[in-house]
C-alpha cells in the first residue's frame, strides 16, 4: 500500500505539534545554564521584562508549582541546582517567537560554580552496578566458568571497543503547544511517540487526574526514541500557559535539542572470547561501561543481546554505570542492541581472523539450539538462513579472506558481515472498531505514526481482520482520548496496536456494531518463548589509501522478522535503519566539552549524517517467516533491527580492506591514516 497520509504530508496539510491553529497564542523560549555543575545564585529578569511583548520570565526565583511527582529533567525551576551545561534554568514568554528569543538573550543568570566531571572512563572510581538496565533486564548475567573456558580455548580474543555520544536528530524539532481550559483541564499538542504515556506523565507532573489531560500528536516527524518519553518542552509550555493565562507554544532549536532531548550514552565495552580449534566458543564475556546524569538514572542494556546470540558453555554479561555532570541519556534507535552488537560482532570478526575461519561460518558453527542465557526455546530464529541467503546474494564465496590485498588504484576494497537481532516485543493495548453510518469502518487507537507508516499498516491489519478492502477502513490515532496504547518504540508498535485492532475487529464481526479490545491478559502469556527478530548485514567498502575516506558502494540486509505486514513500508524501515547504522559507523559523533561541560557539534553542520550520495546501493530483503507464537499477525517489529549490525559490518569491511582494525567509532579518515604516522 501507498502511505495513507502521504498526500497530506507532501502537500503540507499534515499538522504537526507547532502548527495547530490556536487563538491568542504566545511563545516561550528557554534560557540554558552556562555552567556544568553548581547552583543558580540569582536570575535577573528586569531587562527582559522591559522588552517589547514580554509577558513573563519563569525561573527558580519564583518557581511555578509542580506536583511532587515531577522529578529529573521535568522538574523545571524546582531547584537551584545545576546538573549539566545546557539545562533549562529560566524561560521567557512573549507575544511573538522573535520577542521571546530576544528577551531570553538578556536574562542574566549568576551562578556559584563547582568543579565538574563529564568524562566516562572504564576505571572511573564512581562506577557502580545499577539495579537493572533498560527497560527491566537484570544488570548482570553469568553461567559457567569464564576463566576456565578461556584457559582451555585454542584461541582467545580480548578487545575493547568504544562508541561516542550520538544524538537522535529527528527532522521535526521537539515542540509543544499547551492550552488550559476554564475548568483547569490541560490540552497539549506534543511531539510524542506515545500520547497515552505523555498524558500520564503530564498528569503526574501537574498533579491532575488523567481524565483532565489530553495529548494530541496526529503527525510526528521522526523521533528515533527521543520523543518516546515526555521532554521538558511539553512541561515548559504547560507551565508557562498556566502562568500567563494564554496558550503557549515552544519549538526547540536544533542546538537546544542536543542539550535537553536525550542522546545515546557513550560506551566502553570489553569482550573476551575463547574458542576451540573448530571455532566453537568456550567462553564469552561482555562488560559495558556507560554514563548517566546526577538527575536521574538511565542504564542502557548494551550487553543484553550477547545473552541470546551464540552457544557457549560459559557466558557472562555485565553493565557498570557512572553518574556524571551531563544530561540524562535516553533511548535512541535500538538502545542497547545497537552499540552492544557493534562490539560483539566486531569481536566475532576478530575471532574469525584469529582462527583463520570464515566469519559467516564462525557464526553458523556457534548457532544455539535454545536461548543461551535463559534456555527458553526460540519462537523462531532463522539467523543461519539470513547469513546463507545474504552470502548468496552478496557473492561472498568469491571473497579473498586475506586483509588488505584487493585494490583499485588508490582504493582498497573490502567486505564485511555482521549479525543483527532485536526483541520481538508487544505490550498491552486497547482498540475500538465500529461501523460508520455509510457502512465503512472506523478503528481507533492512541497509537503514534512517527513516520513509519503506522496508519497504513494498521489499516491493512484491520482490513484483513474485517475481510474488507482497505479503502473501507479509517484509522484514527495520535490522541490520548482514544483507547490507550503503548509508545511507538522498541519495535513493538505494530505488534501491540495491531493485536488489539485484530481482537476489536473480531468482536465487531461478532457483535455487528462495536468491538472493544484490551490485550493485557493476552500479552501476559508471552514469556514462554525467546522472541527475537534476526538478520545479517553484508557490506562492501572502498577506502582511499591517500585520504582515508571510506565509501560504501554496497550494503545488503537480510532479515527474519516474522510475517511482513506491508513490503513497501518494511523495505523503507529496513533501509532507513541500515542508513542510520552507516552514519553511526562512519560519521556520527557528538563531542563532550571536558573544560566547560556540555556538547560540541550541536547542529547538523557539524554532526554529520548520511545523504543520498553516501548510499548508492542499499538493499533489504527478508525470509518468509511465519511465527504463530508472536501475535495475531505473526509479525515481528522491524523499526530497529536494520541499524543493529550495520556499523559492525562496516568496521569489519574496513579491516578487510586495510588490515587495520579501528575499535573506536566513528571510523573517520584520521583513524584510517593513523597507523602510518
Q: Say which DSSP state 506 is in.
A: H
Rounded Cα–Cα distance for residues 550 and 586 (Å): 8
- In 3D space, the residue among 650, 580, 648, 557 whose CA is nearest the CA of residue 343 turns out to be 648
The sheet carrying 430-435 orders its strands as 473-476, 441-444, 430-435, 514-518
**Hey, how many other C-beta atoms are within 10 angstroms of the C-beta on 181?**
10
**Hey, how many other C-beta atoms are within 10 angstroms of the C-beta on 441?**
21
Say if CB 616 and CB 553 are below 8 A apart: yes
Rounded Cα–Cα distance for residues 93 and 77 (Å): 15
How many residues comprise the chain?
677
**Residue with the three cell numbers 538527575:** 295
623 Cβ contact list (under 8 Å, min separation 6): 382, 385, 386, 389, 558, 559, 560
Rounded Cα–Cα distance for residues 610 and 589 (Å): 13
The stretches of 313-431 forming alpha helices (DSSP H) are 337-355, 359-365, 383-394
Beta bridge mates, 442: 434, 474
Question: Which residue spans within 253-314 are E strands per DSSP?
Answer: 267-275, 281-293
Q: Which residues are catalytic?
A: 640
528 Cβ contact list (under 8 Å, min separation 6): 376, 629
Say if CB 641 and CB 421 are below 8 A apart: yes
Beta bridge mates, 497: none
Rounded Cα–Cα distance for residues 171 and 193 (Å): 14
Q: Could you write out the three-class secondary structure of 171-230?
A: CCCCEEEEEECCCCCEEEEECCCCHHHHHHHHHHHHCCCHHHEEEECCCCCCCCCCCCCC
At 51 the three-state DSSP class reads coil
Question: Which residue spans within 465-513 are E strands per DSSP?
Answer: 473-476
Rounded Cα–Cα distance for residues 511 and 644 (Å): 44
The stretches of 194-336 forming alpha helices (DSSP H) are 195-206, 232-244, 254-260, 306-309
285 Cβ contact list (under 8 Å, min separation 6): 146, 270, 271, 272, 273, 315, 316, 317
Rounded Cα–Cα distance for residues 217 and 19 (Å): 11
The sheet carrying 407-408 orders its strands as 407-408, 411-423, 532-544, 550-560, 618-622
Backbone angles phi, psi at 158, to 5 degrees: -130, 105
Q: Say which DSSP state 264 is in.
A: B
Amino acid at each position: 500500500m501507498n502511505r495513507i497520509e502521504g498526500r497530506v504530508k507532501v502537500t503540507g496539510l499534515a499538522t504537526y505539534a507547532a502548527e495547530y491553529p490556536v487563538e491568542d497564542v504566545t511563545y516561550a523560549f528557554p534560557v540554558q545554564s552556562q555552567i556544568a555543575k553548581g547552583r543558580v545564585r540569582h536570575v535577573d529578569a528586569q531587562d527582559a521584562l522591559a522588552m517589547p511583548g514580554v509577558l513573563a520570565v519563569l525561573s527558580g526565583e519564583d518557581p511555578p508549582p509542580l506536583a511532587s511527582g515531577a522529578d529529573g529533567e521535568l522538574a523545571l525551576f524546582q531547584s537551584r541546582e545545576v546538573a549539566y551545561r545546557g539545562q533549562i534554568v529560566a524561560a521567557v514568554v512573549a507575544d511573538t517567537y522573535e520577542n521571546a528569543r530576544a528577551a531570553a538573550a538578556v536574562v542574566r543568570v549568576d551562578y556559584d560554580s563547582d568543579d565538574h566531571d563529564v568524562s566516562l572512563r572504564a576505571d572511573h572510581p564512581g562506577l557502580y552496578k545499577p539495579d537493572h538496565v533498560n527497560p527491566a533486564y537484570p544488570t548482570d548475567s553469568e553461567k559457567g566458568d569464564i576463566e576456565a573456558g578461556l584457559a582451555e580455548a585454542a584461541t582467545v580474543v580480548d578487545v575493547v571497543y568504544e562508541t561516542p555520544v550520538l544524538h537522535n536528530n529527528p527532522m521535526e524539532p521537539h515542540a509543544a503547544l499547551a492550552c488550559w481550559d476554564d475548568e483547569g483541564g490541560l490540552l497539549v499538542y506534543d511531539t510524542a511517540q506515545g500520547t497515552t504515556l505523555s498524558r500520564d506523565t503530564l498528569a503526574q507532573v501537574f498533579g491532575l487526574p488523567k481524565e483532565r489531560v489530553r495529548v494530541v500528536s496526529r503527525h510526528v516527524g521522526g523521533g528515533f526514541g527521543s520523543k518516546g518519553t515526555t521532554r521538558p518542552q511539553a512541561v515548559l509550555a504547560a507551565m508557562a500557559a498556566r502562568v500567563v493565562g494564554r496558550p503557549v507554544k515552544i519549538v526547540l532549536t536544533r542546538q537546544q535539542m542536543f542539550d535537553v532531548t536525550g542522546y545515546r550514552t557513550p560506551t566502553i565495552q570489553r569482550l573476551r572470547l575463547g574458542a576451540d580449534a573448530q571455532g566453537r566458543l568456550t567462553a564469552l564475556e561482555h562488560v559495558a561501561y556507560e554514563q548517566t546524569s546526577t538527575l536521574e538514572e538511565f542504564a542502557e542494556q548494551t550487553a543484553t543481546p550477547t545473552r541470546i546470540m551464540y552457544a557457549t558453555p560459559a557466558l557472562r554479561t555485565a553493565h557498570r554505570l557512572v553518574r556524571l555532570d551531563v544530561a540524562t541519556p535516553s533511548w535512541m534507535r535500538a538502545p542497547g542492541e545497537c552499540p552492544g552488537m557493534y562490539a560483539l560482532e566486531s569481536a566475532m570478526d576478530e575471532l574469525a581472523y584469529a582462527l583463520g575461519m570464515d566469519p559467516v561460518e564462525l557464526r553458523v558453527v556457534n548457532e544455539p539450539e535454545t536461548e543461551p542465557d535463559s534456555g527458553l526455546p526460540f519462537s523462531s530464529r532463522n539467523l543461519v538462513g539470513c547469513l546463507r541467503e545474504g552470502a548468496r546474494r552478496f557473492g561472498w564465496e568469491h571473497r579473498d579472506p586475506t586483509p588488505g590485498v584487493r585494490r583499485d588504484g588508490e582504493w582498497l576494497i573490502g567486505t564485511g558481515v555482521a549479525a543483527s537481532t532485536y526483541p520481538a516485543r508487544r505490550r498491552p493495548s486497547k482498540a475500538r472498531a465500529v461501523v460508520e453510518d455509510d457502512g465503512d469502518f472506523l478503528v481507533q487507537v492512541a497509537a503514534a505514526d512517527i513516520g513509519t507508516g503506522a496508519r497504513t499498516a494498521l489499516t491493512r491489519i484491520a482490513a484483513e481482520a474485517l475481510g474488507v478492502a482497505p479503502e473501507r477502513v479509517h484509522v484514527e490515532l495520535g490522541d490520548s482520548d482514544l483507547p490507550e496504547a503503548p509508545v511507538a518504540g522498541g519495535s513493538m508498535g505494530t505488534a501491540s496496536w495491531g493485536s488489539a485492532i485484530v481482537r476489536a475487529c473480531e468482536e465487531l464481526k461478532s457483535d455487528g456494531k462495536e468491538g472493544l479490545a484490551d490485550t493485557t491478559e493476552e500479552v501476559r502469556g508471552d514469556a514462554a518463548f525467546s522472541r527475537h527478530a534476526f538478520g545479517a548485514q553484508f557490506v562492501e567498502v572502498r577506502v582511499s589509501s591517500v585520504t582515508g575516506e571510506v565509501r560504501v558502494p554496497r550494503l545488503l540486509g537480510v532479515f527474519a522478522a516474522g510475517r511482513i505486514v506491508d513490503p513497501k513500508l518494511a523495505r523503507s524501515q529496513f533501509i532507513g535503519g541500515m542508513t542510520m547504522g552507516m552514519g553511526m559507523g562512519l560519521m556520527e559523533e557528538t563531542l563532550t566539552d571536558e573544560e566547560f561541560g556540555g556538547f560540541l557539534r550541536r547542529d547538523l553542520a557539524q554532526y554529520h549524517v548520511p545523504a543520498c550520495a553516501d548510499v548508492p546501493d542499499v538493499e533489504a530483503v527478508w525470509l518468509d517467516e511465519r511465527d504463530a507464537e508472536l501475535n495475531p499477525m505473526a509479525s515481528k517489529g522491524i523499526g530497529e533491527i536494520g541499524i543493529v549490525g550495520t556499523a559492525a559490518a562496516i568496521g569489519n569491511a574496513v579491516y578487510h580492506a586495510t588490515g587495520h582494525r579501528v575499535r573506536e567509532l566513528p571510523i573517520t579518515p584520521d583513524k584510517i591514516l593513523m597507523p602510518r604516522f
